[in-house]
Structure 1
Amino acid sequence: MRKTRLDTARIRAARRVIDPVFLDSPLYRCEALEPALGCAVSIKLETANPVRSFKARGTEVVASLLADSDARAVVCASAGNLGQALAWSGRGRGLDVTVVASRFATAAKLDRIRALEARLELVDGDHELARERAAALARYEGIRLLEDSLDIETCEGAATIGLELVDTAPSFDTVLIALGGGALATGVGHVVKALAPGVEVICVQPLGAPAMTHSWRQRRVVTTDSTETIADGVAGRCPVPAALTDLLLVADDAVLVQEASIITGMRMFLDHAGLVVEPSAALGVAAILEDRDRFAGRHIVTIVCGSNVDVDAYHHWVGAASL
């Protein structure tokens, strides 16, 4: 079998530099969800930490390496969660952090980046334009550019979730992973296939942001001209070729889900699990809702990857009656 860019020994080493507040996140069977879904469901809750997403697992590794090398500054493009995580990790290690984001990004995420003392630059475009601007700033200022899913540290930091799944979860058949740039899917997928190869790895992406799924299906990079989804955290148009290569080695399937299913999944998390989650975190439940027969009788693990939502938008999607 061909190998991914990831290395299981480095992933285990990554745990030693990640702040423990981001490790060993809750993992539990959520029986209240099961009658409506027709399968056993366990939740890996990556929102119970200071940045309310899994992203800090990767930025902790990056910031640690930068601090050890006496680097003083780093820039990234972000839809919001990566920027918060890098700001948190960088602040604790004395790094100057710049985050480039779309001015149309979720306001709550942008506010939190500012609160964490990062420099925030907004662009009049989508995430791909933010990536271009971040790269230009890195060249101009001579500082480190952090590229999510391309930089292996972001994948191997996320992969520590996989270690926790295979080390602590009871027997499960399938893991459903939100698919955006690919760091989470390739990281967790690498560990699962290395240590629990019988588990099916299924990636889930919105129908309105399908670039990585189309790329996986066609085994080549496929870009899209635009995205149209409320799941801003996974709304990329231009896949990272190296991340796609890794994904092709670890994913058993990649599926697309409709916006209505994402919203239903968010509502189910609130009503049945007492969890406020962002759209990307509901992709796994959305996949089950759209193909109940496929998952019937299985034990599914879904990674709840973030909970940074704009309150007004959340009320609009989920409905005030549910709150």
Structure 2
Amino acid sequence: MPTRLDTARIRAAREVIDPVFLDTPLYECEALEPELGCSVSIKLETANPVRSFKGRGTELVASQLTGSAAVCASAGNLGQALAWSGRKRGLDITVVASRFATPAKLDRIRALGATLELVDGDHELARDRAAEIARSTGIRLVEDSLDLETGEGAATIGLELVGTPFDTVLIALGGGAMATGIGHVLKDLAPDVEVVCVQPAGAPAMTLSWQQQRVVTTESANTIADGVAGRRPIPEVLVDLLQVADDAVLVEESSIVAGVRLLHTHAGVVAEPSAALGLAALLENRTRFAGRRVVTIICGSNVNPPDHHRWIQADR
């Protein structure tokens, strides 16, 4: 069964997305190999104005918007990216987020000129409120992962990976835009590459859904990796994920913290917890990945400095 994504559209997307988000650094980080037992290359999706991969998708959304306004729910990174893309085009952007979201992300959304509405609940409540705003005002609701622009924008990362000699790609799994996008491209253009999705054990809904091949919702999500802390997978996205993911694994919080620390110590990279999920998987599955050539996507670096300081000092 094909996915909803289209490789020709993904190629065309590179002509629409601001070049500031494209061709991000990809390099082998030799200092990580002794720690992890395999060759690790990192794709640095933090080297852009919103410090995450989300700008690739919001550039497509904003370029195709028929009205002058849009609303989205966000844990922080999508909201920043939509605010950035909207500001560039003079669009009126509203972002709904949890009051408990990372303060640095919320501050940046405001700084980029979006209207920020906070809800007293988690990301799923923010999704409900964003949908209510869209219904009542008639403006465009941007639904991360469900909207093809978000997945096909993220898929341009996959185009930049094709031709690189590697065996496995490790992709953070939340709503699924990045996993389905990159996975689609690799299955189409580099089918021998193993696509492994990684999610926190404290927020396992999409991984459980992939494993059981049906939508599984959870009552709560408890993880420091706020960018992937969803509870209600989107059915259409799960169908896409089932076509492109070779595996989906869960990792513990301690391994995520260790991954953040390794990226700081050995790569000089400030990574938010979601961006360290790939390294967490390597730490927990050393035998499986031993001797392999692995790429992992460093998908965001929007963290509160005190939190990051605590994580990188955890074992010291």
Return the TM-score normalized by structure 2: 0.99
Q: 1:129 aligns with which of 125, 131, 138?
A: 125
Q: Which letter does structure 2 place at the counterpart of 1:132?
A: D
1:26 aligns with 2:12: no
Q: 1:254 aligns with which of 248, 267, 276?
A: 248
How far apart, CA to CA, are the structure 2 residues paired with 1:283 and 1:89? 27
Q: Where does residue 117 of structure 1 map in the other structure?
A: 113
How far apart, CA to CA, are the structure 2 residues paired with 1:21 and 1:320? 34
Q: Where does residue 204 of structure 1 map in the other structure?
A: 198
* Secondary structure of 1:268's aligned partner: helix
Q: Where does residue 297 of structure 1 map in the other structure?
A: 291
Shift of 1:321: 8.7
Gapped regions of structure 2 (runs ≥ 5)? none
Q: 2:153 aligns with which of 130, 137, 157?
A: 157
Q: Where does residue 275 of structure 2 map in the other structure?
A: 281
* Secondary structure of 1:254's aligned partner: strand
Return the TM-score normalized by structure 1: 0.97
Gapped regions of structure 1 (runs ≥ 5)? none
1:183 aligns with 2:168: no
Q: Where does residue 309 of structure 2 map in the other structure?
A: 315
How far apart, CA to CA, are the structure 1 residues paired with 2:314 and 2:105? 21
Q: Which letter does structure 2 place at the counterpart of 1:18?
A: I
How far apart, CA to CA, are the structure 1 residues paired with 2:64 and 2:295? 31
Q: Where does residue 98 of structure 1 map in the other structure?
A: 94
Q: Which letter does structure 1 place at the counterpart of 2:166?
A: F
* Secondary structure of 1:221's aligned partner: coil
* Secondary structure of 2:104's aligned partner: helix
1:78 aligns with 2:74: yes
Alignment deviations for residues 282-318 of structure 1 (CA, whole Å, 9 cap, x no partner): 0000000001000001000000000000111112222
Aligned residues: 316
Alignment deviations for residues 127-177 of structure 1 (CA, whole Å, 9 cap, x no partner): 00000000000011110000000001000000000000004x2x1000000
Q: Where does residue 134 of structure 2 map in the other structure?
A: 138
Shift of 1:181: 0.2
Q: Where does residue 47 of structure 1 map in the other structure?
A: 46
Match runs of 1:196-235 below 5 Å: 196-235=190-229
Identity fraction in percent = 76
Shift of 1:243: 0.5
Shift of 1:40: 0.4
How far apart, CA to CA, are the structure 2 residues paired with 1:32 and 1:316? 22
Q: Which letter does structure 2 place at the counterpart of 1:246?
A: D
Q: Which letter does structure 2 place at the counterpart of 1:94?
A: G
Structure 1 runs of 4+ off > 4 angstroms?
none
Q: Where does residue 65 of structure 1 map in the other structure?
A: 64
